[in-house]
Amino acid sequence: MDLFAVSGNRSPCKAGEGAEGWTSPLVTGSILVGFVSLVLFALRRSFMRKPVMDLRVFRDPMYIMGLLLVLSCIMIILSSMIILPMFLQNGMGLSVFTAGRMLLPGSALNGILSPRMGRLFDKYRPKCLVIPGLIVVAVVLCFSPAFRPHHHSTCCGRYVTLSFLSAARRLLFFVSG
């Protein structure tokens, strides 16, 4: 059975979008119910003698900082791999060929840097590479007006921005086998 047919949504790209936006009572009510449920779950787990999930690890500030670092890296990686091509096609109105051509130099750079970053991750610890990677991503995303719809920037500027984003993405996370 198709999930989109059951939900009444005809386009898989628009799954989860609502016409009302964030101010809808349904959206704010769902967020509130989820938050209250999460708090009740945490309180219940903290008073149990043998909890299945021990949440006391969140008392350690280094654990929270490491968790936030990993979550931000995963968000950057997934958004640049999944959402960026969709934005280039739907948001900026580029064809599939043009969007692929814009992402190709960054992907090639990513492939060239992979073995070198693997050796750097082995030589130095990941913390020494992830922090500069996050800084490069922040600088590239903050100072890049090239990805605004109807913005007339050069294709060369977009290529450079995407290439820097791909290089910084390789600094963020490297899975070695």
pLDDT band at 2 (very low <50, low <70, confident <90, very high): very low
In the prediction, which pLDDT does 10 show?
A: 42
Q: Which two tokens stand for residue 48?
A: 């149990």
167 with 110: CB under 8 angstroms? yes
State pTM to two decimals.
Answer: 0.59
Measured distance CA(127)–CA(171) in Å, rounded: 10
In the prediction, which pLDDT does 127 show?
A: 73
Write out 83-128 in H/E/C secondary structure. HHHHHHHHHCCCCHHHHHHHHHHHHHHHHHHHHHHHHHHHHCCHHH
Range from 41-50, 68-77, 120-129, 138-147 that averages highest in pLDDT? 41-50
pLDDT band at 154 (very low <50, low <70, confident <90, very high): low
